[in-house]
Amino acid sequence: MTPPSAPSTYSLALLEEILQKRQEEFSEQFSAVQPSVAPRIPRQTPKSERDEVFAKLAAAAASLTILPEKEALYLEQQVSDLLGFEVSSTLEEKKLTCSFGKIQALDVFSLSPQAHPEDMVSVRGARIKRGRPSLGWAKQTEVSDANRYLLANHLVLLEDWHHKYAHYKNWYRWRKLLLINPFDRISVVVELASFTLPNPMQYQFGGSPALIRASQAWSPRAQGFVCVFFIPDASRAQSGVQQL
């Protein structure tokens, strides 16, 4: 007669514990690893190539042109390589009314909670607007370092602006952009502060007095013509004014 088999030394609880451990090891082994994104390093661009890029930007700005898609993408790539971070005329399928145009000097936008009339005494011609800004007032946490470099674009000209007003208002508000004066080779990281212009038929952009002065947008060479791009990853762009 065959003797009965010995009982298993593994209890049900122990088997479940072993199975759970194997599943965790399997998950760790095959889990998706997010690739690290290396920062874009400015390429050592030859002077002739730099001159060519700025000449293209200056020509596009002065002619108020809309570049063909392929030409625009190539130019954006050249500018991105030159700066060391990505710039684009579109972001998340959204855009400005234009990327190249003429900028108008406007009154100081009273959007920063730190802005006070006494702060503007040293800037000739600057004053606080009395009317409510088109993108609303800023909260203390929304404005960093009392940014003085503020930009306006007449976004109401966008085809579907009135259908998506609430969504667009939240998306565009305080969006960081890069303004380039290609004639004097100066760039300024700005924030979009208003979606209306007092004279949109003559000007494509408006800027606070501090921005106009810092960018030298109305120098004898620039005559108000500038380029404006989105910055997909604003954390990589050094804030403030840069001589390119």
Q: Output the pLDDT for position 128.
A: 44
The verdict on residue 15 lying in a domain is: no
Residue 189 pLDDT class (50, 70, 90 cuts): very high
**Residue bearing the bigger pLDDT, 139 or 178:** 178
Q: pTM above 0.85? A: no
Which range is most confident: 31-40, 105-114, 136-145?
Answer: 105-114
Residue 201 pLDDT class (50, 70, 90 cuts): very high
The verdict on residue 41 lying in a domain is: no
Q: CA 110 to CA 215: how far, in whole Å?
A: 20
pLDDT in tens, 84-97: 899 999 999 999 99
**DSSP calls for the chain:** -PPPPPPPS--HHHHHHHHHHHHHHHHHHHPPPPPPPPPPPPP---HHHHHHHHHHHHHHHHHT----HHHHHHHHHHHHHHHTS--BSEETTEE-S-SEEEEEE-PBPTT-TT--GGGGTTSTT--B-SSPPTT-PPPTTTSSTT---EEEE-GGGSTTTTTSHHHHHHHHTT-EEEEEETTTTEEEEEEEEES--S-TTT-SEEE-HHHHHHHTTTSTTTTTEEEEEE-SSGGGSPPSEEE-
Q: How many domains does the chain have?
A: 1
The verdict on residue 40 lying in a domain is: no
The answer, yes or no, to whether residue 140 has pLDDT greater than 80, is no
Q: Output the pLDDT for position 179.
A: 97
Residue 64 pLDDT class (50, 70, 90 cuts): confident
**Residue bearing the bigger pLDDT, 26 or 130:** 26
The answer, yes or no, to whether residue 145 has pLDDT greater than 50, is no
Q: Which residues contact 188 (CB under 8 A, 6 or more apart)?
A: 149, 178, 179, 211, 214, 215, 240, 241, 242
The verdict on residue 9 lying in a domain is: no
Domain holding 113, by residue range, is 47-243
The verdict on residue 238 lying in a domain is: yes
Q: CA 75 to CA 93: how far, in whole Å?
A: 18
The verdict on residue 11 lying in a domain is: no
The verdict on residue 183 lying in a domain is: yes
The verdict on residue 190 lying in a domain is: yes
**What mean pLDDT comes out for the span 40-48?**
70
The answer, yes or no, to whether residue 219 has pLDDT greater than 50, is yes
